[in-house]
Structure 1
């Protein structure tokens, strides 16, 4: 039997990375079972929802319900790491670190050359990932061979004043720890999943013997999600010091980022390109995850008196507005959205505000027969690839929707995990 790849799951939420790697059996629908990606074993996880009141820890409670009372450390990760450095607690050695983290300003306040190394902005969760990786490597250079991260795709082009700088800082940090990197923007619906969710997945491996241009089209990410390159293939140099990236990367203020849909970094050198997805499998739709109408609570059906408001919010508009800071007049416009949402298409991206009865431009509304209704939490669970009822662990419907808005498509992680395991 192959040795298990031990995993630490940071910002674990309700366990999307863990399910994607370890697989699951859906007791309510055997056809929805997800085979494990390989012999992965999550041995440590952290989840903390600020502000830190007990009522806000519904995601960690869900994680415990499914994986056991001791399966997750439900404390602020910054506090956990500081206590480890003070010798007040232990963190186990792992082969792989996974996690999703917010897109923020990752600028660096202290260069590598100064004693103590990189110092990033306080309260920014990327630096806790960097610190966790460094802790693992300080314990043993054989630890944390792999790292798999997920973020919104705008990470590749933030901030607006210095396009691509934040991602350059992350790449520089990973290179400083000895990692080579693949990344890929994945639109889940383009590869058969029932939700249109576009996210960037960042895969890093230490001491990898990768050839830059070959890896772009034959690496793990390209095998998991095949594509044809579109347009020109670009090369970018990444500063060896993240502090230099903070000051100088794209400092001329170009309106576009040099980082495109797919890319590879080896020894601070990047190759990147736009992609055309290649997929020949089955495509799933919103209609595939709907619960029987007999299971839908009355409060999810939309009263006829509210339909006009729903339809208006989803229609196109062009409105004159005034900037509250400058007093200048401008026109705000937005396109129309489907009303109701089409059951024959993949769903739109689930957002954290999907819950609640009030009409909204961004919530889903569907029509079954002559009745309109919102999506129930069981359907949101399945649109993210979780088993039906995964978040039905005592939390409110609104909190269940919040958890799914923060989650990832489990099957995307599963496909990446399978390719990692093959490469081993």
Structure 2
């Protein structure tokens, strides 16, 4: 491998992994300047939003920030078909990164060919697996997903994650994973996601040592390891699809773990962070940058309070007529400015009242929603990053799908230090 780590970014969105690893430098946009995490250079990227062409606003943003030829805006499955047919070229890379949707990863069938297995059509993990098989010299992987991946599905607790680990193991990768709440490491949003780091290595890892001194532990220090367990995955991805987690009420996968050669060590860990801590209030723009439509009108405040408030009320299923008691707890209203924000969702945009959208109180006592520039910053993108011709709703959708760029940045820093040593 060269001194530069060549990266392929899959399911690239508006470039969160690239921004976190490569950094950003463009003399025409000095306001977006960000330092690189190390010797990372994204040489190929893919982004495709299912639907009509006019929905490709994330890819258009990626091109606006990184160049017109920076991303392939086509379904990744079709792209890999074209590559295998020899119709296009995909450069060799040292590292593959991506945040892929949480879906049902079950194996549809076992193949006799060397390609191994296939999964359900449209499940994007299998395109990652296929990419790695087509590019066998790829040394590193870094993936992001919702933390429920460790527990799903309800019928076979932990099966989906076991399939993914088994796939990586079959290709010769050792794996570290960690559930990271970004607010626990100083970022302005309480966003909990699992990050999966994989590495092809001839070194035999000491699991307990790697748990406390590996890439993830260096990026996100821990002060204590709790409830450590060990077990083996089943023999193949197909075996894990059929049998892993059958009859289990809880998943065996904890918030941190190591896997090498099919052997798993997993534990709960306690974070260790002593740096500065950002809050929702730190990302707010000045009042003169907030359009009037972002302020909550007086006649809608009662609707917002109802949706945000605690409930215990009888309801009836319109289809079946079944009657039941519906309950849910209260949410903060307005959102606290002296704490990290709640997790941004894709539905953050729009004027309609919602339980999950953020509402803050301004110094003059008015209530308002968050503007897109604030959503960009809650994900640690530069202010205005998604201001590339999208509607405000599209900008909110992109941020709801994005990651906190500081998380891959910290992982990249840990990788760079390890490589330098």
Could you say which TM-score interval applies, normalised by the shorter chain?
over 0.9
Label 1:75 to 1:378 Cα distance change in 2 as closer, same or farther (>3 A). same
Partner of 1:79: 78
In structure 1, distance between residues paired with 2:412 and 2:312: 45
RMSD value over aligned CA atoms?
A: 1.9
- In the other structure, the counterpart of 1:367 is 361
Specify the alignment match of 2:131 in structure 1.
132
Structure 1 position 339 matched with structure 2 position 338 = no
| Distance in 2 separating the partners of 1:148 and 1:279 | 22
1:15-414 maps to which residues of 2 (within 5 A)? 15-24=15-24, 34-51=34-51, 53-111=52-110, 116-137=115-136, 143-209=137-203, 210-252=205-247, 254-323=248-317, 328-369=322-363, 370-414=365-409
Using a 3 Å threshold, how does the CA distance of structure 1 residues 115 and 188 change in structure 2: closer, same or farther? closer
Distance 2:29 2:330 in 1: 35
CA distance in structure 2 between the aligned counterparts of 1:363 and 1:46, rounded to whole angstroms: 29
The runs of 5 or more residues in structure 2 that have no matched partner are: none
Q: How far apart are 1:136 and its partner, in Å? A: 0.4
Partner Cα distance (2:282, 2:30) in 1? 14
**Alpha-carbon separation, structure 2, partners of 1:407 and 1:217:** 28
1:119 positional shift: 1.4
Q: Deviations along 1:31-89, whole A, 9 cap, x unmatched?
A: 985421001000000000011x2210000000000110000000000000011111111
Deviation (angstroms), 1:324: 5.9
Give yes or no for contact 1:26–1:387 (8 Å, CA) kept in 2: no
| Offset at residue 314 of structure 1 (A) | 0.5
Calculate the TM-score normalised by the size of structure 1.
0.94
Structure 1 residues 344, 33: CA separation in 2 closer, same or farther (over 3 Å shift)?
Answer: farther
Q: Distance in 1 between matches of 2:164 and 2:142?
A: 13
Greater shift in the superposed pair: 295-304 or 24-33: 24-33
Q: Aligned equivalents of 1:264 and 1:394: distance in 2?
A: 43
Give the direction of change, closer, same or farther, for the CA distance of 1:201–1:32 in structure 2 (3 Å limit).
same
Q: How far does residue 326 in structure 1 lie from its aligned partner after superposition?
A: 6.1
Cα distance in structure 1, aligned partners of 2:61 and 2:241: 38
What is the alpha-carbon distance in structure 2 between the residues aligned to residue 225 and residue 35 of structure 1?
19
Deviations 1:258-312 (A, max 9, x none): 0010000011000001121111000000000000001111111111111111111
Q: Which moved more, 1:237-246 or 1:223-232?
A: 223-232
Contact 1:22 1:40 in 2 (8 A): yes
Instruction: Sort the Cα spacing of 1:134 and 1:114 in 2 relative to 1 into closer, same or farther, 3 A.
Output: closer
Q: Partners of 2:259 and 2:223 in 1: how far apart?
A: 19
- 1:348 CA drift (Å): 0.4
Structure-2 separation of matches of 1:157 and 1:26: 42
| Partner secondary structure for residue 135 of structure 2 | helix
Distance 2:29 2:135 in 1: 39
